[in-house]
Amino acid sequence: MPTFTDPFNQMTPGRKMTKRELVRALRLNIAAEEDATSLYEAHADATDDPLAKKVLQDIADEERVHVGEFQRLISILLADEDKWLADGAAEVNEMAAEVAAEEAARGQGATGATVGDLTEG
């Protein structure tokens, strides 16, 4: 049984949203899109029907586009949003360079890493 997200979570009802509330609502929308992406990809991975797999992955990819649309809207509404996102990206880039250097020192390529077996065994 699906449960639907409260569309007015964190909002006082009976009036229009403030800009800050709007941004929070947009972040909630992003979370809903990510949840949908995960759901559709899990279903695509769980079927061997080629048409169902293709359609589910296509819809999952469309949800990823929606994430980009919501994120872009937030970036337009908040002058500092892109700075925070860039800071996060820079931190990960720095760590990626460190890991690549460590792998190079050990003689492993970037493709040598895996996530391993995530199933219970």
Residues that bind Fe ion (CB under 5 A): 33, 63, 66
Whichever of 22 and 39 has its CB closer to Fe ion, that residue is 39
- Closest approach of Fe ion to the CB of residue 62, in Å: 6
Whichever of 67 and 78 has its CB closer to Fe ion, that residue is 67
Residue with nearest beta carbon to Fe ion = 66
- Closest approach of Fe ion to the CB of residue 26, in Å: 13
- Closest approach of Fe ion to the CB of residue 77, in Å: 19
Query: Which two structure tokens, joined as six digits, stand for 4?
Result: 């639907």
- Closest approach of Fe ion to the CB of residue 39, in Å: 11
DSSP the chain: ------TTTT--SSSPPPHHHHHHHHHHHHHHHHHHHHHHHHHHHT---HHHHHHHHHHHHHHHHHHHHHHHHHHHH-TTHHHHHHHHHHHHHHHHHHHHHHHHHHT--GGG------S--
Whichever of 53 and 66 has its CB closer to Fe ion, that residue is 66
Whichever of 33 and 44 has its CB closer to Fe ion, that residue is 33
Give the count of beta carbons closer than 10 Å to the beta carbon of residue 44: 18
